[in-house]
Chain A
Amino acid sequence: NAGVTQTPKFQVLKTGQSMTLQCAQDMNHEYMSWYRQDPGMGLRLIHYSVGAGITDQGEVPNGYNVSRSTTEDFPLRLLSAAPSQTSVYFCASSYSSSGRSYEQYFGPGTRLTVT
């Protein structure tokens, strides 16, 4: 099992450029999520998905889009990068059961710099 994989590990963008951060998991988890980590802020939820075809917004969704066409993949799209989106991005997945919450397994992260 590779667990949760993310690509790329590092990325530098210019303001206004778009890109997609890739996330994949091979644990057949229904729940997947994207977080951003900024110094002194902990991790904040951007978007999440409880299954293929279902996505929803988290705490800080502005400027980001997601889709979930398969159980395995959950890409995060930056539509028009801004310096405020400079951050470390983590993808996570977990088993899902109605009314219960399970530990999330995190990918290694993508460090994004927007200049």
Chain B
Amino acid sequence: AQKVTQAQTEISVVEKEDVTLDCVYETRDTTYYLFWYKQPPSGELVFLIRRNSFDEQNEISGRYSWNFQKSTSSFNFTITASQVVDSAVYFCALSANEGGSQGNLIFGKGTKLSVKP
């Protein structure tokens, strides 16, 4: 069965601190895709990154970086020098073919990040 676990329900940091959001996934498929989405207080869902199971290179985009480790089934997200605008709920999601359509997303329950000035 497919599953995504985001064990951190809420995290609170002070501006400029680094913060890592954890994501652990389960799937029996060898081909799968992992995603991160951001949901700011305004409510929309914003796509951040997509990674396929054959690409274990870490990715950096500005203050954001992602660490994909197949050995531990984790796809963690780090924000460096956090800012108040980073305050949001962050969702990790998995897409694999176990349940049928490759396109379907299984979401974790989300981590609420609060960045205080």
Q: Are B101 and A103 in contact (CB under 8 A)?
A: no
What's the interface size class on A, roughly? Answer: 20 to 34
* Number of interface residues, chain B, beta carbon within 8 A: 28
B64 cross-chain contacts in A, Cβ below 8 A: none
Q: Is chain A's binding surface mostly helix, strand, loop or mixed?
A: strand
A42 cross-chain contacts in B, Cβ below 8 A: 4, 91, 107-110
A98 cross-chain contacts in B, Cβ below 8 A: 102
Contacting B103 at CB < 8 Å: which of A88, A90, A96, A106?
A96
Report B's interface with A, CB cutoff 8 A: 4, 9, 31-33, 35, 37, 43-45, 47, 50, 52, 91, 93, 95, 97, 100-110
Report A's interface with B, CB cutoff 8 A: 31, 33, 35, 40-45, 48, 50, 56, 58, 88, 90, 92, 94, 96, 98-106, 108-109
